[in-house]
Amino acid sequence: MCGIVGLHLRDPELYPRLGSLLESMLCQMAGRGPDSAGVAVYGDHRRCPEGYAAVSALTEGSVEIPGALVTEAGDTTVIAAPMGVDDLVAAVRATGARVVGFGTDLTVYKGTGHPRELAATYDLANAQGWQGLAHTRMATESAVTPEGCHPFSVGPDQCLVHNGSFANHATIRRELRAEGVEFDSENDSEVGARFVAQRLAQGEDLAKALRALCERFDGFYTLLVTTGEGFAVVCDAIACKPAIIAETPRWVAMASEFRALADLPGIESADIYEPEPERVYAWQR
């Protein structure tokens, strides 16, 4: 069991409230995943200023990069600097740190512990932006470590969170490795994220990449995948894991359970529905 929440804001007036809304949603899902919790925030210019790249990293010691804004948030260190993404990723990797998220609009936080405490560690309540997601983890396939915490962010401004377990991840991991793809963890969800990232890098759009994932992956999954353009939801063929979507003119939200959506502004007039199995639901900015 794991918990997923995601919020894609359509109304810019809500951007300052992204973090507080997401924190409330995350805490409702704490019982579904008390091992660890991760968060991704899109469009917070205090965490990733315009013209900067941001890299989230798991590191033993401190990371020192000239001219960079470095923020420590529990297990995660966020490094933002006015340089290209690839250059910043290389500079952070050169310090021996493990990169767990990168982009020009995205900051990722991962850690182990109770979701409510981690939300405070990440200062989630004060986050701003146009899109965010969070995940609470109850580990089944691999160890409870910051690396195994979701989201898996393995492409620029991309994140994937997963509730469920892939059955054939080892096979697909071998295939991707043979094609030169590198992995950071033994986590089955990372294989899904690497698969999607490879498809997006080849020019497919998010919906097409997720349809390919449905073709290739066996097992149980409800996935929420975000990019710098939008977000998408898909469930496996028998919808083994829960998902509920709510839409209003001001926002699109997705969660494992309705109670995570119950306090969103305007929920009483939202269009609320469950995604159908193997149908990709995608929204763009």
Partner 1 sequence: MATVTPVSSKVDLSTSSVRALNAELHEPAAEAYEVLHPQGAHAIAAGVHHPVTVDIRGHAGYYCAGMNDGGTITVHGSAGTGVAENMMSGTVRVHGDASQSAGATGHGGLLVVSGSASMRCGISMKGIDIVVGGDIGPMSAFMAQAGRLVVCGDAGDALGDSIYEARIYVRGKVNSLGADCVEKPMRAEHLSELAGLLGAAGLDHDPADFRRYGSARKLYHFAAHNSDSY
Instruction: List active site positions.
Output: 2
Q: Find the shortest distance in angstroms from Cβ 30 to partner 1.
A: 14
Closer of 4 and 209 to partner 1 (Cβ): 4
Distance in angstroms (rounded) separating the CA atoms of residues 47 and 35: 26
Closer of 206 and 264 to partner 1 (Cβ): 264
Residue 213 near residue 264 (C-beta atoms within 8 A): no
Helix axes 206-216, 188-201, angle to 10 degrees: 130
Nearest to 1 by CA among 222, 272, 254: 222
Which residues, 88 to 107, sit near partner 1 by CB under 8 A? none
* 1 near partner 1, rule: CB under 8 A: no
Size of the site for partner 1 (CB under 8 A): 16
Contacts of 72 (CB under 8 A, 6+ apart): 62
Q: Find the shortest distance in angstroms from Cβ 9 to partner 1.
A: 21
Q: Find the shortest distance in angstroms from Cβ 222 to partner 1.
A: 12
What string marks each residue from 238 to 277 as x (binds partner 1 by CB under 8 A) or -?
A: xx--x-x------------xxxxxxx--------xxx-xx
Give the position of tokens 């043979």: 178
What SS3 class is residue 41? Answer: strand
Which residues, 184 to 243, sit near partner 1 by CB under 8 A? 238-239, 242
Handedness of CA 186, 189, 194, 195 (dihedral sign): positive
Closer of 152 and 221 to partner 1 (Cβ): 221
List contacts with partner 1 (CB under 8 A): 238-239, 242, 244, 257-263, 272-274, 276-277
